[in-house]
Structure 1
Amino acid sequence: MAATDWIRMRTNLWDDPRVSAMADLCDCGEASIIGGLFWLWATADAHSVDGFLPGMSRKAIDRKVGVTGFAEALWSCGWLEDAGGGVKIPDFTEYSPQSAKARSVIARRAANSRSVHVGLGRM
């Protein structure tokens, strides 16, 4: 993991009423919900530029986060939409703007370039 691998997450997420609603719907604690949200948003950040995750299903989301009903609760709270052939996170670009992603890609390329040049200097 590079130093530029990060996602934006609010510090007051624990107290968001949607997190409490999801915890109630899933019959679990807020920590499980926030952990699942972290996984979902990090996965979308790594595999999407617009929040669309092709091939991802509600069943797969529940399995990956280990919380039955998690995807349905996301959908009921407005944090997930069904999309043709997958799912979509609404307003994804607001929270993971392309410019931030582009800066991250540029930083990774620069770091890789530096490491290659450093490695060549040792020969």
Structure 2
Amino acid sequence: MAGDWLKMRHDLADDPAVIRLATLCHLEEDAVIGKLFRLWSWADRHSKDGQVEGVDLAWVDRLARCDGYGAALVRVGWLVETGEGLSFPRFDRHCSDTAKTRALGKNRVETHRNAGSVTRPDDPVTLDALPEKRREEKR
């Protein structure tokens, strides 16, 4: 259980796998993404490593309220049937605690960079140069 939020890409609706899921399930891409969110949220709450025992593709269909959704996820490579249950490939990249920490860090860095720096890199360090001093020779 890695927290109460889920990391999702901005371009998920354009992902070829989502388009393929929509075709296989006769759904619009937005509906596919909503069902993915429901499934991934469930997996985030009930798995630490992407492995879930005791569930099968029929259960995924019931959760998604769409016949064939689990099989379609297997076809696009986003779900794997194991002998004991299901496995979510690349789970650690998106749903683990470290993935969420990385995402938060990335957002923090982007926010800082977008805020702009106080000085521009080409601004001189000192505004007024010190007056030039001359040494006089001793005689």
Q: Distance in 2 between matches of 1:46 and 1:97?
A: 10
Residue equivalent to 1:35 = 34
Asked if the contact 1:47/1:53 (under 8 Å) is kept, the reply is: yes
Q: Distance in 1 between matches of 2:66 and 2:82?
A: 21
1:7-45 deviation per Cα after TM superposition (whole angstroms, max 9, x unaligned): 111111011011010110011111221011101111111
Detail structure 1 runs of 4+ shifted over 3 Å in the superposition.
Answer: none
Q: Distance in 1 between matches of 2:100 and 2:43?
A: 12
**Aligned pairs for 1:38-49 within 5 A:** 38-49=37-48
Structure 2 residue identity aligned to 1:84: G
1:25-68 deviation per Cα after TM superposition (whole angstroms, max 9, x unaligned): 01111122101110111111101011111111100101111111
Identity of aligned residues (%): 40
Asked if the contact 1:7/1:42 (under 8 Å) is kept, the reply is: yes
Q: Distance in 1 between matches of 2:61 and 2:16?
A: 21
Which one has the largest radius of gyration? 2
Q: CA RMSD in A?
A: 1.6
Q: Distance in 2 between matches of 1:101 and 1:94?
A: 9
Structure 2 length as normaliser, TM-score?
Answer: 0.66
Structure 1 gap ranges (5+): 103-123
Asked if the contact 1:53/1:88 (under 8 Å) is kept, the reply is: yes
The number of aligned residues is: 99
Structure 2 gap ranges (5+): 102-139
Structure 1 length as normaliser, TM-score?
Answer: 0.74
Query: Which one has a larger percent helix, Structure 1 or Structure 2?
Result: 1
